[in-house]
Amino acid sequence: MHSQSFQIGDEAIELSTGRIARQAHGAVVLRHRETFILATVVAGGEANEGGFLPLTVDYRERRSAVGRIPGNYFRRETRAGEHEILTSRLIDRTLRPLFGEGFTAETIVDVTVHSADAASDLAGLALIAAGAAVHLSDLPFNGPVAGMRIARLGGRLRLGADEAEATRGDLDLVVSGGRDGLVMIEGGAGEIGEDDLLAALEAARAAFGPIFAAVDALREAAGRQKRAVTAPGKRSADLGPALDAALDAALKITEKQARRAALEALRPIARDTLADIEPAAADAAFATAVRHHTRQNIIAGRRLDGRGPTQIRPIDCEAHLLPGAHGSALFTRGETQALVSATFGGPREGQDHDRLFGARTDRFLLHYNFPGFAVGEPRRGGGPGRREIGHGHLARRALLGVLPDEAAWPFTLRLVSDITESNGSSSMATVCGGALALLSAGVPLKAPVAGIAMGLVREGEAHAILSDILGDEDHLGDMDFKIAGTAGGITAIQLDNKLGTLPLDILRDALTQAAEGRRHILDAMGPLIERLASEPPPHAPRHASLRVNTARVGQIIGKGGQTLSQLQGRTGTRIEVSRDGVVLILGPTHAAVREARRAIEAIAIELRKGGLYLARVSGVQDYGVFVKIAEHEGLVHQSELGDRDPRTLNVGDELLVRVLGADERGRVRLSHRAADGGSALEALNA
């Protein structure tokens, strides 16, 4: 067995290999405190004929890692949870651009948390372990690579932060990088500035050095010899003057579908021109020519749709489209469009997550859907894939920080973003449309949010940074850098690249350009935002909240929930009562909400000993009368009626009473005689 250690701050971390999973092509065990992570990689021997790398990353957390048995019926781990899928994506996005050119064998990376410490940065440690396993393997890989979580608490950066620390701060980033720059970024923030973000990235980059040294030393001691992989030969992109001219003409068509149709029409011509090679090789040469011409045009300042590098596509936005939803918006930017609906409900409608270190309930949900028709493809629908989960998570982070505080707005919010057209930046369209849908529902956001996707084309020493990229610019370019935020700062960020690593200078320029683009988009959304702020939401339910004595919660709910059910049926409202005494009411009209609130207040009224109240007779007996004070019923015994005869009283009569206390069974004892000298006005003001 071989091992190497390094430190992140004051925390010691050990990497070892050679003892566990020895038949894998690469295997590393990472230890930190009580955390034990096993990362393995295995790859097939045959190259994939499609020319792409079929990489699968599976990150899993065993419940036994914290001494628990899974709570499902099978009592074993089944499908990956959303958190595990998101961590798998972080690892995939880090490793994928670093594999050697021409390597296309099926590759599986498994990362399993077998023991966990709450003080560990599991996402960052999983990135380190996975990168080390691949670096030690025989697979062609441009490592080493490192990763870590960074939080900012009280203005100070915390490297290797655990999840609890990250949720308390105003910055939560997971960053990975290689020797020459950063590879991947994912995170959320509380409207921080670009300089603050860059400072965090600089700190991460500086902290990667000891990790690189440890991983390199481990490879030197126990690494396998790398496979020989021949990079695919690329035929010259020159297809002849006539075809080159036709290709340039096709690439000047600004509409996506028309441009693709024109390019497809040129494919048979390219095959005829290159008749001396196989059709598949001719197609590859044609694709190379398309890529070459597109990138050269962009470097020269001409994008596929005719825009300049910093220009944003035309923006159109509309609200209140869906009468059945509480709020809705249609956001269109060029050929990308998101139809977003907003719904809110009570706290119990939040989503529960069973995590290693305890359960968590999310009261803000964002679900992103990307159907095939959005890009003109006949693709069957189904459950959300990893991409949809990742895009939804990013958009959720962008909006989370501007939601009202839970104490002021204790409702569960759900956004559904259906992408109805897509030509790039659909997740950022979700951010813009999501902010508008929330405003359409009357949610008092702290500030509106917009998002933009930045791209990069780098050819030798020349490069162009692109604002608001198209789908083809993403596909043929080198970077997809998504930044969302308010006019005051950044709320979410995501970076992927195809170059392997990116220098901070390029990211700094991209952030500056993105800030200008974000302001432009917010300005375009401005007129609708102002209108939504000046008018009541037409489709949102009316709502109210109040706090009652926790001792009254049982009375409000009633036996088997009967009282609450009857109240909801009578008023047409939805009512949630929490154990801590918070009552939330949602209803179709203000009148319905008011009626429900009054009924709850009547049930929850606190009768104090010695208090004077105006009661209403509810029953007459020879020994006295039963009266109701709001929803509280008590007996005024004949001996406490003074000179009043119970037979002279009728149901519905008002009677001034004073609370004497309660009997041994908890029933209220009342007296009319003791109320002598009091007034109805005094009782009403009690």
Average pLDDT of the chain to the nearest whole number? 91
Please check whether residues 338 and 403 belong to one and the same domain: yes
Please check whether residues 14 and 139 belong to one and the same domain: yes
Confidence of residue 236 (pLDDT cuts 50, 70, 90): low
CATH, residue 673? 2.40.50.140
Please check whether residues 394 and 472 belong to one and the same domain: yes
The arithmetic mean of pLDDT across residues 586-591, rounded, is 88
Which pLDDT score is estimated for 234? 57
Q: Tell me, yes or no, whether 228 lies in a domain.
A: no
Range from 109-113, 265-269, 405-409 that averages highest in pLDDT = 109-113
Please check whether residues 629 and 674 belong to one and the same domain: yes
Q: Tell me, yes or no, whether 310 lies in a domain.
A: no
Confidence of residue 581 (pLDDT cuts 50, 70, 90): confident
Please check whether residues 381 and 445 belong to one and the same domain: yes
Please check whether residues 183 and 110 belong to one and the same domain: yes
Please check whether residues 174 and 25 belong to one and the same domain: yes
* Domain range enclosing 657: 612-684
The arithmetic mean of pLDDT across residues 141-150, rounded, is 96
Pick the residue with more confidence: 606 or 294? 294
Adjacency order of strands within the sheet including 156-159: 156-159, 146-153, 171-178, 181-192, 489-497, 479-486, 450-459, 462-467
Please check whether residues 326 and 284 belong to one and the same domain: no
Q: Which residue, 604, 635, 655, sits at the end of a domain?
A: 604
Q: Tell me, yes or no, whether 586 lies in a domain.
A: yes
Q: Tell me, yes or no, whether 229 lies in a domain.
A: no
Please check whether residues 496 and 593 belong to one and the same domain: no
Q: Tell me, yes or no, whether 129 lies in a domain.
A: yes
> How confident is the model over 495-509, as pLDDT tens digits?
999 999 999 999 999
Please check whether residues 588 and 634 belong to one and the same domain: no
How many CB atoms neighbour CB 9 within 10 A?
Answer: 11
Q: Tell me, yes or no, whether 235 lies in a domain.
A: no
CATH, residue 58? 3.30.230.70
Q: What is the DSSP string of 403-462?
A: SPPTTT---EEEEEEEEEE-SS-HHHHHHHHHHHHHHHTT---SS--EEEEEEEEEETTE
Pick the residue with more confidence: 426 or 406? 426
Pick the residue with more confidence: 587 or 125? 125
Which pLDDT score is estimated for 590? 87
Domains of the chain: total:
5
Please check whether residues 22 and 161 belong to one and the same domain: yes
- DSSP-derived letter for residue 536 is -
Please enumerate in sequence order all residues whose Cβ is within 8 A of that of 633, keeping only pairs 6 or more positions apart, or say none: 618, 626, 627, 668
Q: Which residue, 193, 222, 251, sits at the end of a domain?
A: 222
Q: How many H-runs (helices) and E-runs (strands) does the chain carry? A: 16, 29
Please check whether residues 491 and 567 belong to one and the same domain: no
Q: Which of 14-28, 120-134, 427-441, 641-655 has the lowest mean pLDDT?
A: 641-655
pLDDT at position 679 over 60: no
pLDDT at position 685 over 50: no
Q: Tell me, yes or no, whether 262 lies in a domain.
A: yes
Q: What angle do CA 79, 80, 83 make, to 5 degrees?
A: 150
Q: Which residue, 230, 265, 299, sits at the end of a domain?
A: 299
Q: Percent of the chain beyond pLDDT 90?
A: 63
Q: Tell me, yes or no, whether 236 lies in a domain.
A: no
